[in-house]
Amino acid sequence: MIDQKIAIVGGTGKFGQHLGKKLGENNEIRISGRNSSEAEKIAEKYDWSHGTNQEIVEDADIVIVAVPISVTVDVIKEIGPKVPDNALFCDITSVKQEPVEEMKKYSDQVLGMHPMYAPSNSIKGQKVVLCPEKGKKWTEMEEFWIENGAETHITDPETHDKAMSLVQGLMHFSELVVADVIRKSDLSGEDMEEFSSPVYQLITDLTARMLNQKPGLYGSIQEENPENEDVRERFLESAEDLKTLIESGEGFEEKFTELGEEFDLEGSQNRTDMVIEYLSEEVR
């Protein structure tokens, strides 16, 4: 992709800047942000142009909405009337159904994107989910991701949101529950360090890693994905079912074996063995 006018709405954010730097190698970048002086400062730093949300999209070839999930649809409605009919209209949120439906109202070229990594990481080796909905211009962004070493996966918005309700919604919710149970226990973090195996440390580190991020992001992930409510209900039902099973003293082994059928047990054992061995070396 070369010589394209690319408007990044929310280009002052971490991911907006991350994309701007990568896409700006061969294209003209324009950004907007909630704070105009911040947008001006960042634009000067990278030799980009800047303006209001509506100004930067007016004659753009590609428009990327890179704002928080909670305001994505509102921003799409704000800029939609100014987006050229033939511009590729994209977003990068972790929820796809509603943003994609809204973008389809304004452009003949629509692509929902979900880069599944933090902007502090390299694109190489990362997974990026693409939901092409209208037109053929979306392949230009697909080409960009592939050229930068990403692993792309193409699907539809509904399938994406169902998958994310497990990959993000369920996993984050379970980590929050674990964190709350630990917080309510009588033992302090220092006490637990004396008894922590590498496996426990790995699990709690992953939980702490999530809690080290912005709460607004994780709150939005839970609230905005329409599939998450059902997953949370199933989580609570499963917890009650397992509690009853354990307390009855019957059927646990059968259930344990049955649950294992859903996973790559040998591959998981090998991967986690490597991580645990590394962690064990770190503390020696």
CATH number at residue 261: 1.10.3660
Phi, psi angle pair for 21, to nearest 5°: -65, -40
Largest CA distance in the chain: 68
* Residue 244 and residue 180 share a domain: yes
Please say which residue of 106, 134, 155 terminates a domain: 155
Give tens-digit pLDDT for 121-140: 999 999 999 999 999 999 99
pLDDT of residue 200: 84
Neighbours of 129 (CB within 10 A): 22
Q: What is the pLDDT of residues 3-56, one digit of tens each?
A: 999 999 999 999 999 999 999 999 999 999 999 999 999 999 999 999 999 999
pLDDT in tens, 158-168: 999 999 999 99
- Tell whether 64 and 141 lie within a shared domain: yes
**What are the residues whose beta carbons fall under 8 Å from the beta carbon of 242, sequence distance 6 or more?**
255
Both 63 and 200 in one domain: the answer is no
Q: For 82-117, how does the pLDDT look when each residue is reduced to its tens digit (9 = 90+)?
A: 999 999 999 999 999 999 999 999 999 999 999 999
Q: How far apart are CA 170 and CA 176, in angstroms?
A: 10
**Cα 117 from Cα 168, distance rounded (Å):** 12
Assess whether 197 and 251 both reside in one domain.
yes
- Considering the entire predicted model, what is its pTM? 0.84
Question: What total of structural domains would you count in the chain?
Answer: 2
- pLDDT tens digits, residue range 195-239? 878 888 888 888 998 999 889 889 988 998 989 999 999 999 999
- CATH assignment of the domain containing 11: 3.40.50.720
Give residue 77's domain range.
5-155
> Which DSSP state fits 264?
-
